[in-house]
Structure 1
Amino acid sequence: MTVYPYTKAQQNFDKLLEQAYQEGEVQIQGPDGIMFRVKPVPKNHSPFDVEGVNVGISRDEIVECIREGRSSSLPETIKKSCKF
């Protein structure tokens, strides 16, 4: 793990951040000797960020299935007034 003195960390902050990203963390030693750790924060991913799955069905076929399902659960009087 790399330790940067405070003044060198100030002068090369962009390189310090890149190194922290590549290596996982770097440390900075303050003027009074206190050590600080710089680490990249992991990206938060939504559990809904999933890749699509090719199931061999078109968008129009999916919409048709949804419309059929919706219309079959509606009472007959409402079906006549709907424009599906």
Structure 2
Amino acid sequence: MNVYTLSEAKQNLPMLLERALFEGEIQIKYRVGQLFALKPVKPTRSLLDIVGVNINLSRNKIVDVVREMREKH
């Protein structure tokens, strides 16, 4: 794993982001010797983000079913 100085990180941030994405993590050394890790975060998905289901029903058939359900209740 490569370690970059803060100065290198400032000058080459886009390249370092790509490298972190490819390698999983890079480290940046701060002035006083502290190391910081830069790594990509996996995107979170919403619980409402679901794949649609193709049920092959026409608009008219769906309207008929909804009307029928309303009449029953």
Tell me the TM-score normalized by structure 2.
0.82
Percent identical residues: 44
Q: How far 1:8 sits from its partner (Å)?
A: 0.9
Partner in structure 2 of residue 34 of structure 1:
34
CA offsets 1:24-77 (integer angstroms, 9 cap, x no match):
22110112110001112221211221211222212332222112101221xxxx
Distance 1:2 1:62, change over 3 A: farther
Q: Look up the equivalent residue of 2:40 and give its one-letter code.
A: P
- Amino acid of the residue matched to residue 68 of structure 2? E
**Which residue in 2 is equivalent to 1:13?**
13
Structure number with bigger Rg: 1
2:55 counterpart residue number: 55
Question: Once superposed, what is the RMSD of the aligned Cα atoms?
Answer: 1.5
CA–CA separation in structure 2 for the residues paired with 1:25 and 1:58: 50
Higher relative contact order (CA 8 A, sep 6+): 2
**Structure 2: runs of 5 or more not aligned:** none
Unaligned ranges ≥5, structure 1? 74-84
State TM-score, norm by structure 1.
Answer: 0.73
Between the aligned partners of 1:47 and 1:64, the Cα distance in structure 2 is: 30
